[in-house]
Amino acid sequence: MWVAALLAVTLFGSAAVMLSPDRYAGKLAAAVSAVPALASVYMYYVFLTQNGGAGNALLSPGEVAFGQQIPWIDLAGYQIAYYVGLDGVSMPLLALTTILTTLAIVSAWTPIDERQSQFYGLMLFMETSLIGVFAALDFFLWFVFWEGVLIPMYFLIGVWGGPRRKYAAIKFFVYTNVASLVMFAGLFALVFNTDLTSLALPAMAEAFRNASGLPTIAGFSLATISFVLMFFGFAVKVPVFPLHTWLPDAHVEAPTPVSVMLAGVLLKMGTYALLRFNFTMLAETAQALAVPLAIVGVVSVIYGAMLALAQRDLKRIVAYSSISSMGYVILGLVAFTPHGMGGATFQMVAHGLISGLMFMTVGVIYNTTHTRMVGDMSGLADRMPWTVGIFVAAAFGYMGLPLMAGFAGEFLIFQGAFDAATLGSAAPVLTSLAMFGIVVVAGYLLWAMQRTLFGGFSLETDYEVGPAAFHDVAPLAVLLLLVIALGVAPDLSYDMIQHAITPLTGGGA
């Protein structure tokens, strides 16, 4: 019931906001989105205290929290249901979604000044879909929400974006939709070669994990082919080198609150789906392909960081560094160790918070200075001390400063990947290479901060620069607190993540 309530509140709230006058739309949307945010905090608390032992939702569906199942469609013998439930992986991501949406809506009050009711209505509609993506346990329901995210995102970039918004929106839309179809084809090739009668994710997991006698096409097992097709589909969303080209366009053109959602939650849809489908349902294939996948991850880490190093636009820097950070998640997942996969999941949450924070901070700076170019401004620290303070803290979080969430995620990934049996003798080499990415991150972030924040004040544009409004800085502070809280006490999330992850890795460290 809880999940259904979250979905209903955001969906009907979205309709209400769309019909409301522009003047109240922002406040109303914030109030509406506060309901699922507070509710999910409460759910998180209940989960942590009472349900901490829940296992993996796909492998032991009886143990999910907040589960609900209602038959929906009988499609020529395939049962489709409204089936939702949360485990240690989806609970933190759900909370991340609801909290980040509320903060992104508040952060939109300043920059969004036209067609506001439509903007906030679409933000809430996107929240509905995102909640659904993380909570759904039926493939069909999941796919409805998965595709449902595209529609609001297309409009949010296309209507409220920057100068090249039309190109960016259509590129994002077609790129990710094609990826979804490829994934879909790969998955259903498997569905029709097993004796499934239900499209529930747990049933699929059981059938695929025990599938035998799959046909062979051109010398490759169908499991391998499907794995590759699905990986391709999800990798576009993550994004992984070389499928990342939509991301910088979308990020740069999207208005800041939308970039926050894009980096903070939408990219995690890709890694979440990889974990649920490729690494849970086709675990054996994933282990067999671990080395090439890890190489893809490490290349993303290094390549993304190098690209970030070459940018002048603050938003582009953060956008490319997201590619880098998502590469770590891939590396952690292929390790198939509790710390590797657990760290990867933790990194999804941590990066969601930190990249959201970074984008929001860049947005606040842009709202004030109307430029995002390193070199166009310097010495902002005097004029907007709170914002700059948070920017510095967030940047250090991104670099992996201990006691911040990013450190815990990356440390666990490296620890897990270093002695991963799946990677064999390549493990130390690949992990070390990935670690090198952190050095590059530190390089471009320190450089950007030094140029823009410190030194004597100068600004290319002729805008007055003063402290940002309270409602601009407050969301930043909330996010920073969450980043520090997860850094100081990673067990707030890591414990429940471990409960959901260990069944996958077969236990042991």
Partner 1 sequence: MVHQLPSWAGLAPALALAVTALVLLLIDSVDPDTTNTSLLGGVSVVGSLASLAFAVWFIFGGTGIPTSEGGVGTPVLFNGQLVVDQMALFFMIIVASVTALVTLASTDYVREHAYQAEFYALVLLAATGMSVLSAANSLATAFVALELVSLPSYALVAFLKKNRGSVEAGLKYFLIGAVSSAVFAYGISLVYAATGVLRFDGIATAIESGTVQTIVDGTVQAQSGSPAVPMSILGVGIMMVIGGVAFKIAAVPFHFWAPEAYEGAPAPISAFLSSASKAAGFVLAFRTFAVAFPIGALVSSGEALNWFVVFQVLAIATMFIGNFAAATQEKVKRMMAYSSVGHAGYILIGLAALSASGDGMAFSMSAGMAHLLVYGFMNTGAFLFIALAEYWGVGRRFEDYNGLGRQAPLACAAMTIFLFSLAGLPIGGGFFSKFYLFSATLDVGAWSLAAALVINSALSLFYYSRVVKAMWIEEPTGDRSIESYPTGLYTAIVSAAVVTVLLVPGFDYVSSLAFRAVELL
| DSSP states of 219-266 | TEEHHHHHHHHHHHHHHHHTT-TTS-THHHHHHHHS-HHHHHHIIIII
**For residue 309, what are the β-bridge partners?**
none
Minimal distance, residue 70 CB to partner 1, in Å: 10
SS3 139: helix
Q: Which residue, 153 or 420, is less far from partner 1 as judged by CB? A: 153
Strand pairing report for 216-217 and 78-86:
unpaired
Q: Give yes or no for a contact between 316 and 251, defined as CB atoms under 8 angstroms apart.
A: yes
Q: How far apart are CA 128 and CA 175, in angstroms?
A: 22
SS (H, E, C) 289-301: CHHHHHHHHHHHH
Nearer to partner 1, 11 or 39 (CB): 11
Question: Which two three-digit tokens encode residue 9?
Answer: 């509140």
* Shortest reach from residue 135's CB to partner 1, in Å: 16
CB of 421 to partner 1, least distance (A): 35
The conformation of residue 23, written as its DSSP 8-state character, comes to H
Residue 217 vs 439, nearer CB to partner 1: 217
**Residue type, position 387, single letter:** T
User: Residue 255 Cβ, how far from partner 1 at the closest point, in Å?
Assistant: 13
Would you say 147 or 376 has its CB closer to partner 1? 147
Distance CA 396, CA 337 (A): 27
HSE-CB of 42 using CA atoms within 13 angstroms: 10
> 242 preceded by cis ω (within 30°)?
yes
Q: How far is the CB of 188 from partner 1 (least distance, A)?
A: 6
Q: CB of residue 323 vs partner 1: minimum separation in angstroms?
A: 24
Q: How many residues are listed for the chain in this entry?
A: 509
- CB of 493 closer than 8 Å to CB of 346: yes
Q: At its nearest, how many Å lie between partner 1 and the CB of residue 118?
A: 8
Nearest residue (CB) to partner 1, 164 versus 471: 164
Q: Which is nearer to partner 1, 79 or 337 (CB)?
A: 79
CB of 111 or CB of 379, closer to partner 1: 111
Kindly state the smallest distance separating residue 3's Cβ from partner 1, in Å: 16
Summarize as ranges the residues that interact with partner 1 (CB under 8 A): 72-76, 78, 115, 140, 143-144, 147-148, 150-151, 154-155, 158-159, 165-166, 169-170, 173-174, 177-178, 181-182, 184-185, 188-189, 191-192
CB 33 within 8 A of CB 98: yes
Nearer to partner 1, 150 or 501 (CB): 150
Helix (H, G, I), strand (E, B) or coil at 337: coil
